[in-house]
Amino acid sequence: MSAEIRSALGFRLAALAQRSSEWLSVVGGFGMLFVEIVSRTVRRDFDRQEFVRNLYRMGIKSVPIVTVTALFTGGIMVIQAAPIIQRYGAYGLLGWGAGFGTLREIAPLLTALMINGRVGANNTAELGTMAVTEQVDALRALAIDPVGFLVAPRFLAIVTTLFLSTIFSDALALLGAAYAGLGFLGVEPAVFYRGLTTGLLGFGDVAHGLQKSIVFGIVIGLSSCHFGLSTKGGAPGVGRSVNATVVASAAGIFVLDYLLSFALS
Amino acid sequence: MIRLEGVCKSFDRAVLSDVDLVVPESCLFGLIGPGASGKSLLLRMITGLMRPDRGKVIVGGNDVLAMGDMQLHEYRKGIGMLFQNNALFDFMTVAENIAFPLRRLFNLPETEIERRVAERLSRVDLPGFEARLPAGLSGGQKKRVGVARATVTRAPIVLYDEPAAGLDPVTSQKIFDLLRAEQRAESSTVVMVSSDLDRLLTVTDRVGMMLNGRLIFVGTTEEAKNAADPRVHQFVHGNVEGPL
C-alpha cells in the first residue's frame, strides 16, 4: 500500500471518528436533556404558565394547518384506492381501508411532520436566539433554572400538541375520506361509517397511532430543545440549528415509525 | 467582598492567566482593557456561569466553585447582572422583564412588585413603557430596561457588562450617573466593564486593567489616570502611540 493511500485512508478514518464522536455527543445530549426534563416533570418543578402559553402557541395555532393536511390526506387515500375498489366492487371496505391506513400510520406520521416543520423549527429558532443573545445565561444569572422555565414546558407542550393534533387529525382525515368516497366513488357516508365500525377496526388501531404520536412528540421536543439550546455563532448558528432539528426529527420519526410498527403489531 | 485567586481559563488558547483580584465591599470597581482581554469572562466567573480551569472565586466569604446547584441558586439571588447585549426576554413586556426576578425569586405581593417596577422605570427615565416589548425599544432604552432589571432586587452585588455600549454621550453619562447613584443608595458592590473610559472613570472608586488575559493593574481611579505603566497610561488616555 503506497504512502498516499495510507495517508488518504488515515484521513478518512479520522474524519469518520470525528463524525461518530459528534453523533454520539448529540445522542448523549438528547439523553441528558431527557433525564433533566423527566426529573422536572416528576417533581412538578416546571413553569405551568409557560406550559399553557406554549400549548396555545403550538397547539391552537397549529389547528388550521393540521385541518388542511388531514382533510386532504383522507381524500388522497380514497383517490389512490379508488381503482382497486371499483375493480373489485369492494365499496363496503372503503371505510375499513381508509381507517386502517389513517389511524395506524398516515395521520400520526403526517401530523408529526407538519408539527415538526411548524412547531419544532420555531421552537429551535426561539431557543437558539435566546441562547446566542445570552437570554439563557440571563436566566441562570437570575437563579432561574432554564430547563424548568424554558425547556420542560415546551417539551411537554409539543408532546401534548402532537397527541391532541393526531386525535383531531384522525377524525378530520376520516371525514375527508368519507366525503371523497362520496364524491369519487358514490359511497354514502353511512356505508363508509359501517366499514369503519363493523369489527375490522378496533380501539387497538387508534391506540397504535396515538402511541406513535407520543413517541414522535418526544423526538420533536427533544430535538428542537437540544439543538436550540446548543446554538452557537449568532444568526447563522440559529439557521444551522433549525436545519439540524428539522432533519434529525424527520429522520428520527421515520426510523422510529418503522421500529414501532414492528413492536406494536 | 469579591476575591479571585490565581484564576486561569483556556479554550483553544489561554484567555485568563493567573488573575488575582480583590473588589472591596461597597466599592464601584471598573474593569477596563482592550477587546477580548477576558473582562466579560471574569464577570461570568463571579456569577458562576463559567468555571475557571484553575483558581478560586470567593464572594462574601463563600467559595463559588465549591457550591452545589442549590447553593448556587441561593447565591445568584444576591447578584444582579446586566449583560453586554442586555439579554432582555423578548417574549415579555418591559414590565414583565423587570418584574421577572421578583416574581420568580421572592414571595412578594403583586402590588409591591408593581410598585417596584414603576419605581425602577421612573428611575431609568422610562415611565409609561410597561406594556412595550423589547423589540420596539431603541438601544438606549433596552439598556435602561436591562439596568432596571439588574437592580430591581436590590442585590448586594451588581455586575454590569458594557452598560453604555452603543449609547450617545449624553445618555451614556446619564446611565453612569444612575448606576453610581444606585450603588451609593444600596451600598452595593459593583463591578463594571466598560470601554467608555471617559465616563467610567468619573464614577469608579477603583479600576483594574486586563490585557491578554492578565490583570496588569489595580488601583484607585486617580492612580489609573497617573499610572506609570505605559500600557495603562496609553489605554486610559486613549493615545495612539505606545506599547499597545
Residues A11-38 pLDDT 10s: 888 888 888 888 888 889 999 999 999 9
Closest chain A residue to B48, measured at CA: A141
HSE toward the beta carbon, residue B208, CA cutoff 13 A: 25
Residues of B with CB under 8 A from a CB of A: 44, 47, 49, 72-77, 79, 81, 83-85, 87-91, 100-101, 104-105
Among A135, A143, A144, the residue with its CB nearest the CB of B87 is A135
State the Cα–Cα distance between residues B157 and B1, nearest whole angstrom: 9
The pLDDT of residue A8: 83
List chain B residues with CB under 8 Å of A126: 91
Amino acid, single-letter form, for residue A17: A
Q: What global pTM score does this model have? A: 0.86
The whole-number pLDDT of residue A11 equals 83
pLDDT at A1: 64
pLDDT class of A204 with cuts at 50, 70, 90: confident
Mutate which of A142, A144, A232 to test chain B, going by most B C-beta atoms within 10 A? A142
B85 vs A126, A134, A149: nearest CB = A134
Q: How many CB pairs below 8 A link A and B?
A: 53
Q: How confident is the model at residue A137 (pLDDT cuts 50, 70, 90)?
A: very high
Give the residues across from B219 on adjacent strands: B207
Per-residue pLDDT, B48: 92
Mean pLDDT value of segment A180-191:
91
- What is the CATH T-level fold of the domain B1-78+157-166+178-244, as seen in this structure? Rossmann fold (3.40.50)
pLDDT of residue A23: 85
Locate the chain B residue with the closest alpha carbon to A137. B49
pLDDT band with cut points at 50, 70 and 90 for residue A236? very high
In this structure, the strands spanning B28-32 and B206-211 are parallel
Residue of chain B minimizing CA distance to A136:
B87
Which of B46, B49, B133, B147 is most worth mutating to test chain A (most A CB atoms within 10 A of its CB)? B49
Give the model confidence (pLDDT) of A74-96 as tens digits: 999 999 888 888 899 888 888 88
**Neighboring chain A residues of B100 at a CB cutoff of 8 Å:** 142, 144
pLDDT average per 10 residues of sequence, chain B (244 residues): 94 90 95 91 94 94 91 91 92 95 90 94 90 92 91 93 85 88 92 91 94 93 91 90 84
- Residue B115, SS3? helix
* HEC string for B89-107: CCCCCHHHHHHHHHHHHCC
Number of helical H runs and strand E runs in chain A: 12, 0
Compare all CA atoms of chain B with the CA of A132 and give the residue at the minimum distance. B87
Residue of chain A whose alpha carbon sits nearest to that of B104: A144
Distance CA A193, CA B92 (A): 48
Specify burial of residue B231 (Cβ count, 10 A radius: 0-12, 13-18, 19+): middle
Beta bridge partners of B80: B158
How much is the pLDDT for B170?
Answer: 86
Contact B87 A143 (CB under 8 A): no
> Are the beta carbons of B92 and A149 closer than 8 angstroms?
no
Q: How far is A4 from chain B (nearest CA, A)?
A: 30
Across the interface, whether the CB atoms of B83 and A129 are under 8 A apart is answered: no
CB contact under 8 A, B49 and A133: no
B142 CB neighbours in chain A (<8 A) are none
CB contact under 8 A, A138 and B81: yes
8 Å CB contact between A26 and A223: no
How high is the pLDDT of residue A211? Answer: 95
Domain boundaries, chain B: 1-78+157-166+178-244, 90-154
pLDDT at A3: 78
Note the pLDDT tens digit of each residue in A118-131: 999 999 999 999 99
Are B218 and B4 in contact by the 8 Å Cβ rule? The answer is no
Whether A199 shows a pLDDT value over 80: the answer reads no
Q: CA-to-CA distance for B97 and B150, rounded, in angstroms?
A: 10
Q: Is the pLDDT of residue A155 over 70?
A: yes
pLDDT at A2: 75
